[in-house]
Amino acid sequence: MTQFDNSYARLPERFTAAVMPTQVKAPQLIAFNKPLAEELGLDLADADDARLAQIFSGNTILQGSEPLAMAYAGHQFGGFVPQLGDGRAILLGEVVDTSGKRRDIQLKGSGRTPFSRRGDGRAALGPVLREYIVSESMYALGIPATRALAAVTTGERVQRETGLPGGVFTRVAASHIRVGTFQFFAAREDNEAIKALADHVIDRHYPDARQAENPYLAMLQGIAAHQLELIARWLMVGFIHGVMNTDNMAVSGETIDFGPCAFLDEYQPMKVFSSIDAQGRYAYNNQPGIAQWNIARLAECLLPLLDENVENAAEMANGVLADFAKTFPQRWLSGFRQKLGLDTQEDDDEALVQDLLEQIKLGEVDFTLAFRRLCDAAEGNVEPFRSMFIDLHSIDTWLARWKERAGREVTLPKERLVNMRATNPAIIPRNHRIEELIAAAVEDGDFEPFHDMLKAIAKPFEELPEFSVYMQPPMGHERVFRTFCGT
Ligand code: AMP
Ligand code: MG
């Protein structure tokens, strides 16, 4: 029997609302992540598709599960909303996985909750498939993110701009606690709850902070450090989250709530895909600054815990923010050095990276392929890289500088090449492929493209001939300009 241990449900009553998933008419299994289920220790090895569909639609509740919706607030596009909460998500409970890590299992699209406001609590099939693909891509790319455990269709339709087939997505997270969870209680001046939440977060995600002189400051530092690392990793693969509202930032440091997220095709530093991001607040290159802004909102909530003296508390919080601002560019540079196959540090490295990015930008070159083809160039096969650019003179000049610089590395070229290929993916979940598989599923009930892509994105650092179609950037008519929210 699957062992649930629901620590969040044991927090004070005002943290959650107990709520059962709403039954759906005719659930059918689209996908079930068996290796992940095994990792979680779920006792489902004997369950057939029909039973899995019942479980992951919310029609059947596993023993030990205590379904609930979590309360949270959040800054949405900079404006504070004191009450959001799980309006279309229901936490089934927590399990301790086979490696001893506590993991949340949550249904998304499983019906209304006390936090639904005017929403229907449902999810359309398209966003369910998108989140499944992108979560598993992030995992394969080695970037912390919530995982996909299952997807089902409901046999019901949801009303959006048009009627669409409904789905339920099951995700697994280290926790679903967000910056906005702290904000919910800070907005109510509920210091007791902030402390209880912080203690829970320390126990769950930052146990070392307990030993620090000031555990709450250490927790804030830990969260800031995890976010910094996460955003640097996003930038390295051209990922744009799309809605970095404070309610979509997990304190665990995992990527969460993939709404209108997208990966860059051609490199444009201020690229925005999301249809709702009119001001470009969450553009690719704005993400580090936004992460820092979100951490500042978190720090404000924690002031009463940091020090009794307001000025001391503010000074500590500002220290964390200043540290973020100072450290991010260093981490970014080390990441891009790694993409260029450089282990050592030299003063001119930043210019070398920036100049390449400038060339990629000016030539409107595909971000992912440029770095992947640079791996070939490191092996002596320069033409595939070079021929992506229009200004050959400039890229030749750059290549000569890079070669000279790489010549001063101590690591063997062969070893550096392996590292480069393990850093620069060949396959990212390209927007046009995602749109294509969603269209096949929604319009024709054909899930083959979804399953095909799932196989391809599982091996992002290999160039297998059978997956070469997933490496290709979009042709003119395939280009995706806008992505839409999960709702
Ligand atoms: P998100 O777009 O996932 O960041 O959600 C923002 C807020 O809107 C959260 O409080 C969600 O629970 C809520 N929400 C989004 N879609 C729905 C829906 N279909 N029904 C109810 N609440 C929703
Ligand atoms: Mg959200």
Q: What is the pLDDT of residues 13-59, one digit of tens each?
A: 999 999 999 999 999 999 999 999 999 999 999 999 999 999 999 99
Question: Does pLDDT of 234 surpass 70?
Answer: yes
146 touches ligand 1 (CB under 6 Å): no
Ligand 1 pocket test target in 116, 117, 275 with most atoms within 8 Å of CB = 116
Relative to the CA of 259, which ligand 1 atom is closest?
2
Q: Is residue 205 part of a domain?
A: no
Which residues have CB under 8 Å from 87's CB, separation 6+? 69, 112, 113, 115, 116, 117, 119, 121
170, 55 Cβ separation under 8 angstroms: no
Among candidate residues 115, 150, 176, the one where a domain is terminated? 176
Average pLDDT over residues 247-251: 98
Q: Kindly tell me if the per-residue pLDDT of 471 is higher than 60.
A: yes
Q: Is residue 367 part of a domain?
A: yes
Q: Is residue 458 part of a domain?
A: no
- Annotation marks residue 203 as catalytic: no
Domain membership flag for residue 245:
no
End-of-domain residue from the set 421, 439, 459: 421
* C-alpha distances out from residue 428 to 179, 264, 424, Å: 28, 9, 10
Average pLDDT, rounded, for the chain? 97
Q: Which domain covers residue 124, as residue numbers? A: 8-176
The separation between CA 39 and the C-alpha centre of its own chain, rounded to angstroms, equals 20
**Is residue 461 assigned to a domain?**
no
Does ligand 1 have an atom closer than 6 angstroms to the CB of 319?
Answer: no
Residue 449 in domain: no
List 247, 257, 277, 366, catalytic entry: 247
Return the ∠ at Cα 72 (arms to 211 and 16), rounded to 5°. Answer: 85
Q: Give residue-wise pLDDT tens across range 374-413.
A: 999 999 999 999 999 999 999 999 999 999 999 999 999 9
Whether residue 279 lies inside any domain: the answer is no
Which residue carries 């399990």 as its tokens? 95
Listed residues 421, 442, 457: the one ending a domain: 421
- Distance in angstroms (rounded) separating the CA atoms of residues 333 and 353: 8
Cα separation, 84 vs 96, whole angstroms: 28
User: Token match 């607040």: residue?
Assistant: 281
**158 assigned to some structural domain:** yes
Instruction: Provide the domain count of the chain.
Output: 2
Give tens-digit pLDDT for 98-156: 999 999 999 999 999 999 999 999 999 999 999 999 999 999 999 999 999 999 999 99
The pair of three-digit structure tokens given for residue 300, joined into one six-digit string: 């404000």
Per-residue pLDDT of 269-289, as tens digits, reads 999 999 999 999 999 999 999
